A and B are shown apart, each in its own frame.
Chain A
Amino acid sequence: MTLIQFALRDISRNEFRSWTVSLAAFMVAGLVLATTLLMQGTGDSLRLTLGRLGADILVVPQGSEERVETALLMGSPTDAWMAETTVDAVRAVPGVAAASPQMYLASLDGASCCSVSSMFIVAFDPATDFTVQPWLEEELGGPLALGEAVGGAFVSEPEEGLRIYGYPLALAANLEPTGGNLDQSMFLTFETAREVARVSVTEAVAPLEVPDGAVSSVLVRIAEGADANTVAGAILAGVPGVGVVMSPEMFESFRQQITTVRDGIALVVGLTVLLSLLLIGIVFSMATHERRREIGVWRALGATQRHVVGSLVAQAVVLAAAGGAAGALFSALGVYLFHDYIVERIGVPFLFPSTPRLALYVLVGLLAAVLVATAGALLPAIRVTRQDPASAMRE
């Protein structure tokens, strides 16, 4: 038997110590993992959504900036319309390399494919589009045909077929998940959207209204070398009734939301770590004090200070690893199961990581728990070895 084995055998002797240390580790690992999952997940989601949008400037009806941003990030349908002539006006602004309109529509409640009550539908113009089209080329090798749609990650074709407003849609492909309701949105062409509207008059309970000669937004790509700020200013000055959102500032309010949430969580995590340190420190002080005589015996048998500290810390590490693993598991499961609820509560979508990434984050949580336990156990352990073995043995 090695010293570590002897030490581990001894762990279960002090149940109170075992429970408090594991519980503290459970909290630390769980909270650290949950925080990592949330922060990384929201960041990933924002980056992904922004990348997919693929525009330098988003031109929207004046005053609807935030609503459109929310729609694009959260996949919650919105009403925002401006004249179709805006597209040409924007395109004419110096520094604009490409401009393409989009229409934001909503499905009727209870779409047959999805769990969302009302699905967000993005209609794009294949003739001018520069954000969806390249992806289609890559994925499908060509444009979308009439009646075809690209769905978010979680859109699937039900057995009875995918229908919106009574119009049958063919699902051509699915996008990568972004972690929000956007995963249940749908992309289709202007032509298909108009067809849906036409058919809906006779086939649906309520018709889909696609206002004539109106668009919801214009996506702008600026010319190489042009300054986004200058171009945005020029659009605001030259095109009446519009607002602009620039890519770097896109989802700014969401970022602030994340920061607020993060600061709140950081405080909780910090306090938990501090309290855990204190708790583990006190419990280990008590436990090592109780065992002073035994530690004296160990020293008499030839244990060095390092042996004593090592085995005490090893016990803390094992307890923390066990509690931490349980905490991480609990936390990962919780975040996974309550994903939608959390998205709703914090108002920002977040992506659950891939398995290897999750494993990495779990390790981070475990490491945090183990470090806290080590730090908590180290001080009392060192203190008890500081006194000479003979006094340790005297009670």
Chain B
Amino acid sequence: MTTDARQKTRTPAIILDEVRKVYGTGVAETSVVAVDGVSLRIDAGEFVVISGRSGSGKTTLLNLMAGMAAPTSGAVALDGQDLWSLTDAGRARLRNERVGFVFQFPSLMPSLTALENVMLPVAFGSRRPDAGFAERATELLRTVGIEAKASAYPRQLSAGQQQRVVLARSLINSPRIILADEPTSNLDERTEAEMMELFRGIHHATGVTIVMVTHVSALRSNGTRSMEMADGRLQVDERVGAPGA
């Protein structure tokens, strides 16, 4: 199967069409063009790693993909849905059901245990949280290798352990897409490698679409496709030697 043929049969997970994001509208000198006319199609099942320097617009790009910020112009579709034709609640629901987030900063709720943190997104969903979710959460903690810390509070966990919990949390609602914003920026190299292995393992096991942004270009080899971002534009876009292909 050629690359072109694959793109036709696969469903798009994320489509950006001429998306621009300008902060600080009004005075031209103070406004920042964080994302500058990006068009992009990411198919279901891809593992895209976008690298770029600090300030190149990576976080903004991820936020635009998830409908967390409105584009100044252009259109965003997530899992086939035009995000900005939805209501705010509709976008929230879409994020809840189909998107998992891993953030650049510590994002666990300090008053909840690891297990409860993993289950938090369930509370925002339309389904009633039941015992099944607790089991699933425990299983996810096992997947990321810290089920022993299920009842620990975030302050009792190392940065690496916290990010593992965050990764488990991103998976609780069986999302179609995981958006990871520099998930290893606070971690040492070994922990970073372990996290990357987890991402690859999850991608391999579930086929979930992953978009990861990072300022470490070396991490690009982890994905199936890599891009480079600079000054709000995507510059390089290439397939990474597909494992097993």
Contact = CB atoms under 8 A, between A and B. Distances in A.
B120 interface: yes
Contacts of A391: 69
Contacts of A298: 124
A304 interface: yes
Given A6-B123, A388-B68, A301 B95 contact: yes
A6 B112 contact: yes
Contacts of B95: 299-302
Given A9-B111, A390-B60, A391-B69, A301 B121 contact: yes
Contacts of B105: 293
B88 A304 contact: yes
Nearest to B64: A390
B236 interface: no
Interface in B87-114: 88-89, 92-93, 95-97, 99, 101, 103, 105, 107, 109-112
A387 to B, nearest CB: 10
Contacts of B59: 390
Interface size class of A (residues with CB under 8 A): 20 to 34
A297 B119 contact: no
Contacts of B143: none
A293 B101 CA distance: 14
Interface string A299-320: 1111111110000000000000
B109 A390 contact: no
A298 B96 CA distance: 10
A390 B111 contact: no
Contact of A302 (B107, B112, B124): B124
A32 B50 CA distance: 60
B78 interface: no
A337 interface: no
A6 B125 contact: no
A3 B68 contact: no
Contacts of B89: 304-306
A173 interface: no
A2 B68 contact: no
A301 B96 contact: yes
A299 B68 CA distance: 8
Contact of B116 (A1, A303, A306, A390): A1
B66 interface: yes
B129 interface: yes
B96 A393 contact: no
Nearest to A5: B123
A300 B124 contact: no
A256 to B, nearest CB: 55
A61 B20 CA distance: 94
Contacts of B110: 13
Contacts of A177: none
B69 A388 contact: yes
Contacts of B70: 388
A88 interface: no
A340 interface: no
Contact of B111 (A13, A296, A299, A302): A13
B174 to A, nearest CB: 13
A301 B60 CA distance: 17
A304 B111 contact: no
Interface of A is mostly: helix
Contact of B124 (A10, A293, A307, A389): A307
A301 B66 CA distance: 10
Contacts of A304: 88-89, 92-93, 124
B68 A393 contact: yes
A294 B107 CA distance: 7
B63 interface: yes
B121 A297 contact: no
A12 to B, nearest CB: 7
A9 B112 contact: yes
A302 B92 CA distance: 4
Contacts of A294: 107, 109
A291 to B, nearest CB: 10
Interface in A343-395: 388-391, 393
B172 to A, nearest CB: 9
A13 B109 CA distance: 11
Interface string A257-282: 00000000000000000000000000
A299 B92 contact: yes
Determine which residue in B63, B97, B103, B116 has the highest number of CB atoms from chain A within 10 A of its CB, and name it.
Answer: B63
Nearest to A392: B68
A297 B111 contact: no
B68 A300 contact: yes
A1 B129 contact: yes
Nearest to B105: A293
Given A13-B110, A293-B105, A389 B96 contact: no
Nearest to B63: A390
Contacts of A299: 68, 92, 95
Instruction: Kindly list the 4 A-B residue pairs having the minimum CB-CB distance in the complex, ordered from nearest.
Output: A302-B96, A390-B69, A390-B63, A390-B68
Given A2-B129, A6-B120, A294-B109, 16 more contacts: A9-B111, A294-B107, A297-B101, A299-B92, A301-B121, A302-B93, A302-B96, A302-B99, A304-B92, A305-B89, A388-B68, A388-B69, A388-B70, A389-B68, A389-B69, A390-B60
19 contacts: A1-B116, A1-B119, A1-B123, A6-B120, A6-B123, A10-B111, A10-B112, A12-B111, A297-B103, A300-B101, A300-B103, A301-B95, A301-B124, A303-B92, A304-B93, A388-B70, A389-B69, A390-B63, A393-B68
